[in-house]
Homo-oligomer: A and B are copies of this chain.
Amino acid sequence: MRKFYFTPGPSQLYFTVEEHIKTALKESVPSLSHRGRAYENIHAAAVEGVRQLLQLPADYHVFFTSSATEVWERIIQNLVRTESFHFVNGAFSKRFHEIAQNYNINALSNEVKEGLVVDVEKLLIPETTELIAITQNETSTGAAQPVEDIYTIRKAFPNQLIAVDVVSSTPYINIDYSLVDTAYFSVQKCFGLPAGLGVWVVNNRCFEKAEKLMNEGLVIGSYHSLPALMEKAAKNQTPETPNVLGVYLLGKVAEDMLKKGIDQIRRETEYKAAVLYQAFDQSPVLSAFVSNREHQSKTTLVAKSTNPSAGIISKLSEKGLVIGSGYSKFKEQHIRIANFPTHSKEQVEMLADELIKIE
């Protein structure tokens, strides 16, 4: 039996990916020179697809990295001289904070318990902070920071750079990107692609900051510094030989999603999330880990379970439905379910039915 993956990334491939891979092989995409016209067209199509899906302002740039993890490092190298401030509410937001510490940055943070989001009204951020890092969707706990909170921070801190982690929520999450300076995601989440590609969106303020640090003689990295990325991106190229197949597939899936329509994708995501949270409510065993409904992620849903999660996971797996365990210390107490665009309403309803049956 072929299984269907609801794991929170890597997850089920977007339903068109297999065909796109076959076409790519037929067209020798993996053999193309990354310095030739054919690659440049592939690169341009992927950038344009991301740009349209996310409705990016014209002066925002789209760069490719190897992962969102890499973007954390590049943000610290390029955008912070001495001080960053991190919203921390789970393993991934914490990891970004740690990477800043690895680079000997004065990395401040406001840390709240897993399952919560940082309360922006109570927040004290020093004016000396250069970058404010917000994880919009914390994949490890299923807690989502409302976009209005991000806009509140923007208003209060017009001079700071704001970085937003939309790794597991874009393109579902409807953010006005003109109100943040940089954002990033990886393709194995909502885009349903094979892992091995990160996407980094930056505005010109970021670029100017990186150039300023560079001109002061500070290290901002090398082949993936913002000036290096920008120089090649102007030609629809990358500094290194990139994951050409990944870039190709991103462009194709973005095109497929645009054809379907982002509004339709958002409506379906919300419907499917409602079905799953309802299943958590009806279950005698499960309950949503994030108790505040306004902070419940629509794309990565986490339930705590009175039974060890391993038993639930294995029972569902026998029916061909693969879900995720809790993250790290919650491994045994939680289950995690991805609700990405590739997960159809029918499949989600089937999963919900099975979840309710768990005793």
Contact = CB atoms under 8 A, between A and B. Distances in A.
Given A10-B244, A222-B72, A66 B196 contact: yes
Contacts of A7: 31, 33
B195 A244 contact: yes
A298 interface: no
Contact of A9 (B196, B223, B241, B324): B241
B196 A243 contact: yes
A67 B195 CA distance: 15
A39 to B, nearest CB: 9
Contact of A222 (B33, B103, B194, B245): B103
A240 interface: yes
Contacts of A98: 222
A188 B69 CA distance: 23
A229 B246 CA distance: 23
25 contacts: A2-B26, A3-B28, A10-B31, A10-B34, A10-B241, A10-B244, A18-B25, A21-B21, A21-B25, A65-B66, A66-B66, A66-B70, A67-B242, A68-B240, A70-B240, A72-B222, A102-B219, A102-B221, A102-B222, A104-B219, A188-B241, A194-B243, A195-B245, A196-B196, A196-B243
